[in-house]
């Protein structure tokens, strides 16, 4: 497909800190990314979503920005960033960046001046004489004191919520967006975009998590902000936008993305990622394929256009989380078939394409994530035993997905000591080995991506759920005169399977196949022409 339109694109997410280090300080950087652009291109993807590289004190790995028009020296300079844009363009790769506008770092000039009571900046943030009862995403109170007032932070106390009632905030954000779009970036992944507008600062109804959320979640004011950003900025460029929206329903998703080009292009939802938890992500339950697919089917059926993902920098590795690790080689490919087989834009997170596993952390000091440590402390207060708490972190810590990218059997990420422990299984799970192996997970991803790039049915075809019996999923995608039948065995055991889909076999993750059964995590795609 030449002349691609936005629905054709496939996105690859790079978490810069963990992707590739070029100077041996143990931290991934922009030159590292440039050195791996040919690799990214070889996957067949179109867009790189670059997690934050802006100047930041890094309390939350860049999601706490202290200057939106400067680069974090850990990652390089603005010249390096310009070079990255140029090198990406040469390869016909587009780059979208994170737009974090719910909060800034507490070290941002605006906040410093706000703290000094500067009349221009005081109201950029949300101040109150007395805190209300709201709680934060990372556990504990959502207010901290500075001087004689309290400021709101829905995440860490170093991430201060902006006051979107103040017109100057809108002006500043428009200026930032234009700055980057003029540089040639293709759009934004808008961080926690559906909580930016606080309708009131009244006490919230008491809840186990996020007391207060009815005052800021999915408010009409947010739609107004997005419409303004669309008209004043985005529509003046060719752009691609995806919003991260927490606790969102299909109806709310449609309100954000339809009609096209009025607010966002698509949104990341969480409902499917919450099917293996009880109340919140620290209480993980067994993965239930049926429950998972019920949610996915609902979103496929009800939402105009989905942003499909199973991993990102906040989640855990699917081969560890949703499958039996012993069958990693097969489950990774089965999930690739599902992800790219669904209707919507596929998002692949670095390392997912080689089937990286959760980290092999042995003690708390090996974790670096602010949320992990905050929740660990909170769980202690709540009386959970040390062993139990550590187990919770092992399962649900975001650091599971942030371990350094596994390039070679020795790691290949850095010449120095990585900022976060490298998984020791890089000996067997790495890019180099998989590039050389025809049947690797990596080569399977490439084939699936190529299939989507050439088969319109995968882009435009309707989604039709056929069946889910004994955790064997069958669904179809139909467009014009073609139907693709996608079969996924989501079990770690064999399943009986009568092949009634007398079509041509397009994809499979096993070399030998039976007409009577499916092997563990076996996946197939058949093509039927009518
Ligand atoms: O991972 C989570 C906590 O368990 C999510 O609730 C996450 O905090 C939420 O999806 C918002 O994530 C985004 O904004 C955060 C940042 O820490 C995440 O990395 C980012 O993806 C604050 O900017
Ligand atoms: Ca570095």
Residue labelled with tokens 């006051």: 163
- Between CA 232 and CA 428 the distance in angstroms is 50
Q: Are 88 and 70 in contact (CB under 8 A)?
A: no
Phi first, then psi: what are they for 404, rounded to 5°? -55, 145
Of all protein residues, the one whose alpha carbon is nearest to atom 22 of ligand 1 is: 63
- Between CA 413 and CA 415 the distance in angstroms is 7
- Point out the catalytic residue in the list 29, 80, 158, 244: 244
Residues with CB under 5 A from ligand 2 (ion): 21, 23, 25, 27, 29
Token readout for 84 is 């990255």
Q: Among 61, 63, 273, which residue has the most ligand 1 atoms within 8 Å of its CB, making it the best to mutate? A: 63
- Between CA 347 and CA 478 the distance in angstroms is 22
CATH 2.60.40.1180 boundaries in the chain: 461-529
3.40.50.720, 3.30.360.10, 3.20.20.80, 3.90.480.20: CATH of 1-99+308-332+345-361+397-454: 3.20.20.80
Residue labelled with tokens 């004489």: 129
How close is the Cα of 431 to the center of ligand 2, in Å? 20
Of all protein residues, the one whose alpha carbon is nearest to atom 1 of ligand 1 is: 314
Which ligand is closest in space to the CA of residue 246?
1
Q: Can you list the residues of the chain whose pLDDT is less than 70?
A: 1-2, 501
Q: What is the DSSP letter of 408?
A: B
- 191 in catalytic set: yes
Q: What is the CATH number of domain 461-529?
A: 2.60.40.1180
CATH 3.90.400.10 boundaries in the chain: 101-240
| The model's pTM | 0.98
Q: Among 68, 101, 191, 392, which residue has the most ligand 1 atoms within 8 Å of its CB, making it the best to mutate? A: 191
User: Which atom of ligand 1 lies closest to the CA of 281?
Assistant: 4
pLDDT score, position 253: 98
How close is the Cα of 209 to the center of ligand 1, in Å? 14
pLDDT score, position 499: 79
CATH 3.20.20.80 boundaries in the chain: 1-99+308-332+345-361+397-454
Of all protein residues, the one whose alpha carbon is nearest to atom 19 of ligand 1 is: 314
Note the maximum CA span of the chain.
75
How close is the Cα of 53 to the center of ligand 2, in Å? 12
Token readout for 468 is 């889910």
How close is the Cα of 419 to the center of ligand 2, in Å? 10
Q: Are 420 and 18 in contact (CB under 8 A)?
A: yes
User: Which atom of ligand 1 lies closest to the CA of 280?
Assistant: 4
Residues present in the chain in total: 530
pLDDT score, position 500: 76
Which ligand is closest in space to the CA of residue 18?
2
- Point out the catalytic residue in the list 64, 191, 455, 476: 191
User: Which atom of ligand 1 lies closest to the CA of 138?
Assistant: 3
User: Which atom of ligand 1 lies closest to the CA of 313?
Assistant: 19
Q: What is the CATH number of domain 101-240?
A: 3.90.400.10
Token readout for 289 is 């394929």
Residue labelled with tokens 């310009």: 82
Of all protein residues, the one whose alpha carbon is nearest to atom 2 of ligand 1 is: 314
Q: Are 455 and 480 in contact (CB under 8 A)?
A: no
Q: Are 504 and 485 in contact (CB under 8 A)?
A: no
- Between CA 340 and CA 9 the distance in angstroms is 11
User: Which atom of ligand 1 lies closest to the CA of 270?
Assistant: 10
- 529 in catalytic set: no
Residues with CB under 6 A from ligand 1: 60, 63, 100, 137, 155, 191-192, 244, 246, 281, 313-314, 371, 398
Lateral strand order in the sheet of 143-146? 127-128, 149-152, 143-146
Rounded (10°) angle between helices 328-341 and 441-454: 10
Of all protein residues, the one whose alpha carbon is nearest to atom 6 of ligand 1 is: 137
Q: What is the DSSP letter of 318?
A: H
How close is the Cα of 193 to the center of ligand 2, in Å? 30
Q: What is the DSSP letter of 432?
A: H
């Amino acid at each position: 497909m030449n002349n691609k339109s936005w629905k054709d694109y496939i996105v690859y997410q790079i978490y810069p800190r963990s992707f590739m280090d070029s100077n041996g300080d143990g931290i991934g950087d922009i030159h590292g990314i440039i050195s791996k652009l040919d690799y990214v291109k070889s996957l067949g993807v179109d867009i790189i979503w670059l997690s934050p590289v802006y100047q930041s004190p890094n309390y939350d790995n860049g999601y706490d920005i202290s200057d939106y028009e400067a680069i974090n020296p850990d990652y390089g300079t603005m010249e390096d960033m310009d070079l990255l844009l140029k090198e990406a363009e040469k390869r016909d790769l587009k780059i979208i960046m994170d737009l974090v506008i719910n909060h800034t770092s507490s070290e941002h000039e605006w906040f410093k001046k706000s703290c000094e009571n500067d009349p221009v900046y005081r109201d950029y943030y949300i101040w109150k004489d007395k805190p209300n009862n709201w709680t934060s995403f990372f556990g504990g109170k959502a207010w901290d004191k500075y001087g004689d007032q309290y400021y709101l932070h829905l995440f860490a106390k170093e991430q201060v919520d902006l006051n979107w009632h103040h017109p100057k905030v809108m002006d500043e954000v428009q200026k930032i967006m234009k700055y980057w779009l003029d540089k040639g970036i293709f759009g934004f992944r808008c961080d926690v975009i559906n909580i930016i507008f606080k309708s009131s600062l009244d006490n919230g109804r008491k809840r186990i998590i996020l007391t207060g959320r009815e005052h800021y979640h999915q408010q009409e004011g947010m739609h107004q902000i997005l419409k303004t950003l669309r008209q004043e900025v985005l529509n003046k460029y060719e752009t691609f936008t995806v919003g991260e929206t927490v606790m969102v329903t299909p109806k709310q998703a449609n309100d954000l993305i339809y009609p096209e080009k009025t607010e966002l292009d698509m949104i990341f939802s969480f409902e499917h990622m919450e099917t293996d938890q009880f109340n919140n992500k620290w209480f993980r339950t067994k993965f239930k394929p049926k429950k998972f697919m019920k949610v996915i089917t609902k979103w496929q059926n009800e939402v105009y256009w989905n942003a499909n993902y199973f991993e990102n920098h906040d989640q855990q590795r699917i081969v560890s989380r949703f499958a039996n690790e012993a069958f990693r080689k097969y489950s990774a490919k089965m999930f690739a078939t599902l992800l790219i087989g669904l209707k919507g834009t596929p998002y692949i997170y670095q390392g997912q394409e080689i089937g990286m596993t959760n980290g092999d952390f042995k003690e708390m000091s090996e974790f670096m994530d602010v949320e992990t440590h905050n929740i660990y402390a909170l769980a202690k207060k709540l009386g959970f035993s040390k062993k139990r708490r550590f187990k919770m972190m092992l399962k649900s810590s975001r650091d599971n997905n942030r371990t350094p990218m596994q390039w070679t059997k020795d790691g290949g990420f850095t010449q120095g000591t990585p900022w976060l422990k490298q998984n020791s299984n890089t000996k067997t799970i790495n890019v180099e080995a998989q590039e050389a192996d025809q049947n690797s997970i990596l080569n399977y991803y490439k084939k699936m991506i190529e299939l989507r790039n050439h088969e319109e049915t995968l882009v435009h075809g309707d989604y039709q759920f056929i069946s889910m019996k004994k955790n064997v999923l069958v669904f179809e995608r139909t467009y014009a005169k073609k139907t693709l039948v996608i079969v996924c065995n989501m079990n770690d055991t064999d399943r009986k399977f009568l092949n009634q889909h007398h079509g041509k076999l397009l994809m499979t993750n096993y070399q030998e196949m039976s007409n009577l059964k499916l092997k563990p995590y076996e996946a197939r795609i058949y093509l039927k022409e009518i």
